[in-house]
Structure 1
């Protein structure tokens, strides 16, 4: 079987049209939110860093909460696109096994985190600050993790059809643990360690 298609991000989440001013706001917000945290960054700072007025920010987004939605949804979309490209570029359909496809997700996360994730997973970090399901960004956070679980479960089904749910959850836990350990810098190269553990779990294909 081929690598599962990368579906569109969470449906039902309201998005805004990106004008030039909105993009400037979002670029500033993305950097500030990831580096400093969501609650620590106010609209005054975002507007100042973007070189726009607060009125422009509110005209384009309506609220800080919507800026957070766009920040997280954008990160999610870029990760999904990155993963799809990585799997396409690094897996030869003629020679790739089901085990290879599972392990490649860990390799992709390692590559993404080295380039874009020095402070760990943006969704995990955001959830530490946003735990209220009523917050408009909550579905983006939860949806991204649900999607990762579904991806691992589908891939696990190619390796072990009868144990796909259990194996998918275990792979997800290894992956999430690596993300957290990377962000906290608990020990070197947690993705390689998680990949090795996943490799030991997977039956031969």
Structure 2
């Protein structure tokens, strides 16, 4: 009889599977990656994968949640290095520009997943909305110390830059959005 799988091993297997899933799903899309490929690349038996994530949908939701924490955490860490409130807003666009320039950048993971599964998976759609709301709240908190009236335009500039960079591969989208945010801030000063 094989040894029981420890909780520690389950955590390690879960993280390894999420790493593989995130890499493959982001690069190729959810529907293009089958569970057999996840098994092959992760090295985990299919039975083990389904014990950790009973469905592909639960795996996708967990992957999006983890990516959200890391993505928004990275943004917050970057912004924490900028003391001036106005410059912090503009620094968000610099961070976006750095992200857009990363090798393998394929746009917004949440928009990509929503485009694939949003209409057929309420759980995935809810997770995408949760991320977008959390990012909106992060932008609102950032802008509140300068001028809350520009929250929506600044948020839309950020989201628009993400879409343009993802679809057109245009890393300059962050710079253009930064210029728009600066003009908004200048107009409200």
- Please give the range of the TM-score, normalised by the shorter of the 2 chains: 0.7 to 0.9
Q: Cα offset for 1:131?
A: 1.9
The correspondence of residues 1-205 of structure 1 with structure 2, limited to 5 A, is 19-89=11-81, 91=82, 93=83, 96=84, 98-115=85-102, 118-132=105-119, 135-161=122-148, 163=149, 167-185=150-168, 187-203=170-186, 205=189
TM-score when normalising by structure 2: 0.85
Q: Cα offset for 1:202?
A: 0.9
Unaligned stretches of 5+ residues in structure 2? 1-8
Aligned-residue Cα RMSD (Å) equals: 2.1
Q: Cα offset for 1:117?
A: 6.1
**Runs (4+) of structure 1 moved beyond 4 Å?**
none
Unaligned stretches of 5+ residues in structure 1? 1-16
CA displacement, residues 45-85 of structure 1 (integer Å, 9 cap, x when unaligned) = 11111111110110111111111011111111111110121
Structure 1, 114-123 or 40-49: larger mean CA deviation: 114-123
SS at match of 1:136: helix
**Structure 1 CA distance, aligned partners of 2:70 and 2:10?**
16
Equivalent pair of 1:117/1:183 in contact (CA under 8 Å):
no
Equivalent pair of 2:27/2:104 in contact (CA under 8 Å):
no
Equivalent pair of 2:101/2:171 in contact (CA under 8 Å):
no
TM-score when normalising by structure 1: 0.79
**Structure 2 CA distance, aligned partners of 1:33 and 1:68?**
9
